[in-house]
Amino acid sequence: MLAIGSDRMMQAVGAARHGMLAPFLKPGHTAVGSINSPMQCMMKEVCAQCLQPQVDPVSGERSVVFSCFNQDQALDRVDFPALRERLMQNGVQEKLTAQWIDRALRRLSVRGVLAAE
């Protein structure tokens, strides 16, 4: 099973696999989520902004992986609360960027640049 979406959606899919979806799924199936954690360098294991904690579902042992290097991770190992915290850190930056883009597009529209297209 491959889950791609928001962190909360993937967390819900991960939980449903062991709950309400369990009767419909083959025992021992594999579930993977595409973890889009914050990344800065995009250079594979350089800046450490993408570090993602994982928890072994059997032993409870914690480890850390570079999610830029491996975005597809086993759903049962992802520490979703930690991922949520990391994603929330970008909230202000994302809002500011959206405002700058909106401003730039409005200025282009006023100048007639966008109307000509």
The pLDDT assigned to 16 comes to 96
Cβ-contact 16, 75 below 8 angstroms? no
Tens-digit pLDDT profile for residues 67-104 = 888 889 999 999 999 999 888 887 888 899 999 999 99
Indicate the number of domains in the chain: 1
The answer to whether position 99 is within a domain reads no
The answer to whether position 95 is within a domain reads no
Work out the angle at residue 39's Cα, subtended by the Cα atoms of residues 87 and 62, and round it to the nearest 5 degrees: 70
The answer to whether position 51 is within a domain reads yes
Cβ-contact 75, 10 below 8 angstroms? yes
The answer to whether position 116 is within a domain reads no
The answer to whether position 82 is within a domain reads yes
The answer to whether position 63 is within a domain reads yes
What's the domain range around 20? 2-89
Mean per-residue pLDDT, 10-23: 95
Cβ-contact 77, 67 below 8 angstroms? no
The answer to whether position 23 is within a domain reads yes
Helix axes 80-88, 7-18, angle to 10 degrees: 170
Does pLDDT of 3 surpass 70? yes
The answer to whether position 109 is within a domain reads no
